[in-house]
Amino acid sequence: MVKRVSRLGGLLAAYQRRDPAARSKLEIFLLYPGVHAVIYHRIAHWLYCRKWMFLARCVSQWSRCWTGIEIHPGATIGRRLVIDHGMGIVIGETAEIGDDCLIYQGVTLGGTGKDTGKRHPTIGNNVLIGSGAKVLGPFRVGDNARIASGAVVLREVPPNCTAVGVPAQIALRKSERRAAFADSVDQIDVKHPIWEELEQLQRRVYELEMELKSAKEN
């Protein structure tokens, strides 16, 4: 019991640290749907692991109706997961989420078809997944990775990287010396690698035009 209370305290502290609108741990515990969804999932997952599938799905479906967050009872979730707002989040049966992750509303951790076995992504520790992002398939998103809002991730994301776009590409690589928490990241000024390539091509075309114009004048 003491261990569970300690874990709950750590979860509430994570919300308080990352949400400037949070006034107290009591407010977070009573009013934040992300906290409720995680608590309900702990119960549903406990039932799922003991093969009480119907009861597990009853709990998860009640949680979905109450919070707007759908987490399959079979999903594995680490400690201190912060779900910001959370409406529309879907987490599949074989999804795995590490510690200290931050997930915004509208995120899907799903599969790509009707395959059996492992078919949902594995999310490492300290990962941020932006609003509306879709992570689809049985691959790994490495520790300290960042998934930009609206990205569609269909393949592995290495640790300490930022993925953007549809389909997602690696836009930024950092060293392993990262800030302590997933929310400490610039979610606005990340350039898509294709845009950078187009800018380079544009500059090169301009330089060639200038060289051609200079040659004609001479």
- Please indicate, yes or no, whether residues 84 and 161 belong to a single structural domain of this protein: yes
- Please indicate, yes or no, whether residues 120 and 212 belong to a single structural domain of this protein: no
- Please indicate, yes or no, whether residues 165 and 199 belong to a single structural domain of this protein: no
Residue 62 in any domain: the answer is: no
Residue 121 in any domain: the answer is: yes
Nearest CA to 13 out of 134, 75, 5, 87 is that of 5
> Could you read off the pLDDT of 93-148 as tens digits, one per residue?
999 999 999 999 999 999 887 777 889 999 999 999 999 999 999 999 999 999 99
Contact 28, 62 (CB under 8 A): no
Q: Which of 9-13, 158-162, 193-197 has the lowest mean pLDDT?
A: 193-197
- Please indicate, yes or no, whether residues 95 and 173 belong to a single structural domain of this protein: yes
Is the per-residue pLDDT at 79 higher than 80? yes
Distance separating alpha carbons of residues 41 and 85, to the nearest angstrom: 17
Strand partners, 217: none
Residue 168 in any domain: the answer is: yes
Residue 40 in any domain: the answer is: no
Report the pLDDT averaged over residues 29-52. 94
Domain count, the chain: 2
Q: What is the pLDDT of residue 177?
A: 43
How many Cβ atoms sit within 10 Å of the Cβ of residue 106? Answer: 19
Cα Rg for the chain, rounded, in angstroms?
Answer: 21
- Please indicate, yes or no, whether residues 151 and 101 belong to a single structural domain of this protein: yes
- Please indicate, yes or no, whether residues 84 and 159 belong to a single structural domain of this protein: yes
Residue 144 in any domain: the answer is: yes
- Please indicate, yes or no, whether residues 176 and 195 belong to a single structural domain of this protein: no
Q: What residues make up the domain containing 131?
A: 75-187
> In 121-143, which positions are buried (b, 16+ CB within 10 angstroms) versus exposed (e)?
bbbbbbbbbbbbbbbbbbeebbb
Q: Which two tokens stand for residue 189?
A: 């000024």
Average pLDDT, the chain: 85
Q: Which two tokens stand for residue 214?
A: 């200079």
- Please indicate, yes or no, whether residues 197 and 181 belong to a single structural domain of this protein: no
Distance separating alpha carbons of residues 68 and 198, to the nearest angstrom: 40
Q: Which CATH number is 111's domain given?
A: 2.160.10.10
Q: Which residue has the higher pLDDT, 71 or 190?
A: 71
- Please indicate, yes or no, whether residues 216 and 140 belong to a single structural domain of this protein: no
- Please indicate, yes or no, whether residues 152 and 205 belong to a single structural domain of this protein: no
Residue 159 in any domain: the answer is: yes
Q: Distances in Å between the alpha carbon of 94 and those of 122, 190, 203?
A: 8, 30, 46
> Could you read off the pLDDT of 138-192 as tens digits, one per residue?
999 999 999 998 999 999 999 999 998 888 888 766 654 455 555 555 555 556 6
Report the pLDDT averaged over residues 74-91. 93
